[in-house]
Amino acid sequence: MNRSYYDSALVINLKPSGENNTTVTLLTKTKGIIFATLYGGPKSRLRSLVTLWNSGIIYLYEAQEKKQTKISDFDVKNYHTSFSQSLYKSYAANLACELCIKTRCAGSFEECWKLTSGFLDGLEIATEEQAQTGLLRFLWRFLELLGVQPATHVCAGCGKSFLSAGLTLQEKTYYNGIENKFICGECFSGGLGRSEHTFTLKLSALRYLAGITVLSPKEARQLLIDRQDYVQLKDIVFFLIENAAGSRLNTIETGAGIL
């Protein structure tokens, strides 16, 4: 039985197949990751539409007797043309796409689609500095989608609130990679949370993560972060996302010095 259908989709990978065809990896809203074949040479109208990071409505034809899905048409809504002009943006977009594939959309197709397509749309209009913090926010929210985002509001050791007005923003907190928890300086000094995967960060950095967790994307974009906090958070969030993916992420390895 053959059938035609359509879905919201984002092109996340392209691979040549034969002389003129292309195997296209799509992130779709209702079916997650789909592999489809795009027929036609360089002069094909569809070839110019089905390009990396384009998103919109994809029209597919499924030939079940051949176990093959063919792209019939693509109504592109967002082109993301700035990615080809910014090495950072292209790596950030590739990291998001690789993460979707490695985690199989975190088990939630529609939420993964919303999060990833929203990130790429925001990345398109962002400056490079905004793109850097945008990637942190995306990865932190992806950890929530995976169900492994650590709590940021209280110390896992003593239960002290990290949001208390009596604390200074320069105060040190610690992340324990073995237990996936944040602890305060007092608990860490007492011997709790020490391991080979321990990260130190200022309270201001931890509060930035807490803000991302509870605020809307629009509100979170207004949060301020200094360079030291950004560097500390990047190390932790990259560690967390690779740990959650279950393997090293190629984009992070090849993008060292860029991301």
How confident is the model at residue 44, as a pLDDT?
A: 82
The number of beta carbons lying within 10 Å of the beta carbon of residue 81 is 11
pLDDT of residue 151: 94
Assess contact for 223 and 210: CB atoms under 8 A. Answer: no
Take residue 117 and report the two structure tokens written for it. 């397509």
Q: What is the pLDDT of residues 2-36, one digit of tens each?
A: 699 999 999 999 999 888 899 999 999 999 999 99
Is pLDDT at 45 greater than 90 in this prediction? no
What confidence tier does 178 reach under pLDDT thresholds 50, 70, 90?
Answer: confident
pLDDT at 193: 62
Nearest to 71 by CA among 91, 56, 90, 84: 56
pLDDT of residue 161: 94
pLDDT at residue 1 is higher than 60 = no
User: For residue range 181-222, what is the model confidence (pLDDT) as tens digits?
Assistant: 999 999 988 776 666 778 999 999 999 999 999 999 999 999
pLDDT (tens digit, 9 = 90+) per residue, 88-108?
999 999 999 999 999 999 999
Rounded average pLDDT over 109-135: 96
Is residue 207 within 8 A of residue 226, CB to CB? The reply is: no
**Cα(10)–Cα(26) distance, integer angstroms:** 6
User: Would you state the pLDDT for residue 63?
Assistant: 80
Share of the chain above pLDDT 70, in %: 97
Beta carbons within 10 angstroms of residue 145's beta carbon: 20
Read off the pLDDT band of 128 (50, 70, 90): very high
Tell the residue number behind the tokens 């011997």, with chain if given.
191
Cα dist from 161 to 153, 156, 157, whole Å: 6, 10, 11
DSSP the chain: -EEEEEEEEEEEEEEEETTTEEEEEEEETTTEEEEEEE---TT-HHHHHS-TT-EEEEEEEEETTTTEEEEEEEEEEE--GGGGG-HHHHHHHHHHHHHHHHTGGGG-HHHHHHHHHHHHHHHHH--HHHHHHHHHHHHHHHHHHHT-PPP-SB-TTT--BTT-TTS-TT-EEEEETTTTEEEEHHHHHTTTT-STTEEEEEHHHHHHHHHHHHS-HHHHTT----HHHHHHHHHHHHHHHHHHHTS--HHHHHTTTT-
135: pLDDT strictly greater than 90? yes
**In which residue are the tokens 């790429």 written?**
120
Please give the residue that has the higher pLDDT: either 74 or 176: 74
Q: 242 pLDDT exceeds 80? A: yes
Whether pLDDT at 66 is above 80: no
pLDDT tens digits, one per residue of 50-62? 999 999 999 999 8
Choice between 186 and 139, residue whose per-residue pLDDT is larger: 139
Ramachandran class of 27: left when φ > 0, alpha when ψ lies in -120 to 50, beta otherwise: beta
Distance CA 1, CA 201 (A): 57
Residues 224-237: tens digit of each pLDDT: 999 999 999 999 99
